[in-house]
Amino acid sequence: MGLAIDIAITHIRSRLRQTLVGVLGVATGVGFSVMMASLMEGSQRDFIAQLVDSLPHITISDDRRTPPPQPAALIYDEVEISNLSTVDRRRGIKNPLAVMADIESWAPAKVAPSVRANILLRQAGRDVGAVMLGIDPKREAEVSNIASKMVEGSLDNLVKASNAVLLGARLAERLGIRVGNTVTISSSGGKTMTATAVGIFRTGVAQVDDSQIYALTRSAQVLAGQTGLINELRLKANDALGARELAARIEAETGYKAVSWQEAHEDLINAFNIRNFIMYTVVGAILLVASFGTYNIISTITHEKTRDIAIMKSLGLRAALVRRIFVLEALVIGLIGMLAGFALGFAMTKALGAVEFRSPFGDATRLPVIYSPIHYGLAGAIALGASLIAAWLPARKAASVNPVEIIRGAS
């Protein structure tokens, strides 16, 4: 083994230019794989963050998927009953605190209670329909990113004034409402209240910016005409992609309708799946191309040594020892190249992550990149594997050739 290592190191050291080419070849392959993977997965994560995280992952409401059976139908199940007046149910989630505590005890998610009420905003003689979400600002911050979407004012302003509301930017623009203005809000039940605008938010989702306002739970309950009402629980799951399964389980456990973001936005799922497919295809293709480049360089280096292999074999060195020399060389070049590739990939990712884009509306955004050890591990393992195979195959072939064939050709 010592002899093989010695010969391998001498080869590597005395053919610096070739070693450098080999190392660079491996390094570029690894570097670009890492960079592309971090860009692709970064943009994928960003996509989730932008679209999915601005929505609640799961919304639990007091709705049911089927109308509740009437008592008469339960008792006389063989009889067709129609036109009985239905039994009214009290709206809202029963004992919401207990339900929340129950969900939080087992589900990997954060839960925030809210009251959803359809309202009319009245301003300067115009009536505009909107959805009011009554929230608890502290808990809301845990399940939504609304706090980071504030253009003016802040989420905490809600508790600083009585009947304070936050308005979507497009809604505020449409009605000409600024922070500090008063607006009149009336509910479908006929209740009316005067509220003060304390903040304006812009999520980038037109539907939300155009028709949503936030208020404290208490204010919304007053408008809904039911104290203590909580008719919606919103969840932010630790794993956004597992929301569908989690929602099904919550629905089974609590009996309330739980809608995952996947169910609510099937169009997003398609887009998401297509992006995933593109990501794996691109990263896979780059890894393939990179490993092919690595293979080419290493196998060329080994091929050039065919004569040396014949010489060593003719002297009486065992074929296995000769093969080992070249596999070791590839291992060293592959390892150095891999480490250089990690540095290159990291630097390129850093550089890409510093690129800024300006949109006409919002702030400057940067290319979304992530740094994942998995990318490095995968790119490194594939490069090393390709190097070893690239050395092994030609070395095996050269070592199995009768040295006479090469000696005869050379002399």
Partner 1 sequence: MTPLIETRKATRILRGEIDTTLVRDIDLAIHPGEFVAITGPSGSGKSSLMYLLGLLDTPTSGDVLIQGKSTARMDEDARAKLRLETLGFVFQFHFLLAEFSALANVTLPMRALGKLSDKAMRARGMDLLTRLGLKDHSHKRPDQLSGGQRQRVAIARALANDPQVILADEPTGNLDTASTEQVFGIIQTLVGEAGRSVIIVTHDPHLARRASRRLHVVDGQLAPVPEDD
Q: Please report, as ranges, the residues that interact with partner 1 according to CB under 8 A.
A: 3, 6-7, 10-11, 14-15, 307-308, 311-321, 402-404, 407-408, 410-411
Q: Which is nearer to partner 1, 269 or 317 (CB)?
A: 317
Residue that the structure tokens 């009889």 belong to: 79
- Specify the length of the chain in residues: 411
Q: Which is nearer to partner 1, 39 or 301 (CB)?
A: 301
Q: Which is nearer to partner 1, 242 or 403 (CB)?
A: 403
Q: What is the smallest separation between the CB atom of 325 and partner 1, expressed in angstroms?
A: 11
Q: What is the smallest separation between the CB atom of 2 and partner 1, expressed in angstroms?
A: 8
C-alpha closest to that of 43 among 383, 334, 366: 366
Q: Which is nearer to partner 1, 293 or 403 (CB)?
A: 403
Residue 301 C-alpha from the chain's centroid: 42
Q: What is the smallest separation between the CB atom of 331 and partner 1, expressed in angstroms?
A: 18
Report the C-alpha gap between 208 and 130 in whole angstroms.
10
Q: What is the smallest separation between the CB atom of 383 and partner 1, expressed in angstroms?
A: 25
Q: Which is nearer to partner 1, 148 or 402 (CB)?
A: 402
The amino acid at residue 366 is R
Q: Which is nearer to partner 1, 197 or 309 (CB)?
A: 309
Over the Cα atoms of the chain, what is R_g? 33
Q: What is the smallest separation between the CB atom of 23 and partner 1, expressed in angstroms?
A: 17
Structure tokens at 221: 């309950």
Report the C-alpha gap between 407 and 395 in whole angstroms.
17
Q: Which is nearer to partner 1, 248 or 311 (CB)?
A: 311
Q: What is the smallest separation between the CB atom of 47 and partner 1, expressed in angstroms?
A: 53
Q: Which is nearer to partner 1, 10 or 207 (CB)?
A: 10
Q: What is the smallest separation between the CB atom of 395 and partner 1, expressed in angstroms?
A: 15
On whether the CB atoms of residues 282 and 40 are closer than 8 A, the answer is yes
Q: Which is nearer to partner 1, 7 or 383 (CB)?
A: 7
The amino acid at residue 377 is G
Structure tokens at 73: 């139908």
Residue that the structure tokens 């903040």 belong to: 199
Q: What is the smallest separation between the CB atom of 336 and partner 1, expressed in angstroms?
A: 18
The phi, psi pair for 197, rounded to 5°, reads -75, 120
Q: What is the smallest separation between the CB atom of 313 and partner 1, expressed in angstroms?
A: 7
Q: Phi/psi class of residue 135: alpha, beta or left (left: φ > 0; alpha: ψ in -120 to 50)?
A: beta
Q: Which is nearer to partner 1, 4 or 369 (CB)?
A: 4
The residues facing 364 across adjacent strands are: 358
Secondary structure letter of residue 124 according to DSSP:
T
Q: What is the smallest separation between the CB atom of 300 and partner 1, expressed in angstroms?
A: 17
Q: Phi/psi class of residue 98: alpha, beta or left (left: φ > 0; alpha: ψ in -120 to 50)?
A: alpha
Secondary structure letter of residue 80 according to DSSP:
-
Q: Which is nearer to partner 1, 234 or 313 (CB)?
A: 313
Q: What is the smallest separation between the CB atom of 404 and partner 1, expressed in angstroms?
A: 5
On whether the CB atoms of residues 290 and 28 are closer than 8 A, the answer is yes
C-alpha closest to that of 402 among 333, 312, 310, 316: 310
Q: What share of the chain is helix, strand, coil (3-state, %, to 5)?
A: 60, 20, 25
- In our burial notation (b when 16+ CB lie closer than 10 A, e otherwise), range 306-338 reads bebbbbbbeeebebeebbbbbbbbbbbbbbbbb
Report the C-alpha gap between 397 and 32 in whole angstroms.
31
